[in-house]
Amino acid sequence: MEDSSEVLVCAAEYIKDRLYFVTLRTSGRPRSTANTHYFSIDDELVYENFYADFGPLNLAMLFRYCQKLNKKLKVS
């Protein structure tokens, strides 16, 4: 197993003790536990480029992400 100090790149707390955004340096995905739930949108919400750009997701993808996040926050 990799040293956690080498895997975690950045973490930001958005809702105290409830919602965090983390950037990881690993090809594997973390597993949820009894106290934590991890999810990724990497394979679900795909960026559609316009003339070889690399900008953010479009508003439709952002809306889908917000719906997904709201649903997850209501469950826990």
Answer yes or no: do 11 and 34 share one domain.
Answer: yes
Answer yes or no: do 51 and 65 share one domain.
Answer: yes
Q: How deeply is 69 buried, as exposed, middle or buried, from its count of CB atoms within 10 A (0-12, 13-18, 19+)?
A: middle
Instruction: pLDDT band for 5, please (50, 70, 90 cuts).
Output: low
Q: Which amino acid is at 8?
A: L
Answer yes or no: do 52 and 23 share one domain.
Answer: no
Query: Which residue segment(s) compose the domain that 34 sits in?
Result: 1-38
Span 19-30, pLDDT tens digits = 999 988 887 888
Count of domains for the chain: 2
Span 55-69, pLDDT tens digits = 777 888 899 999 999
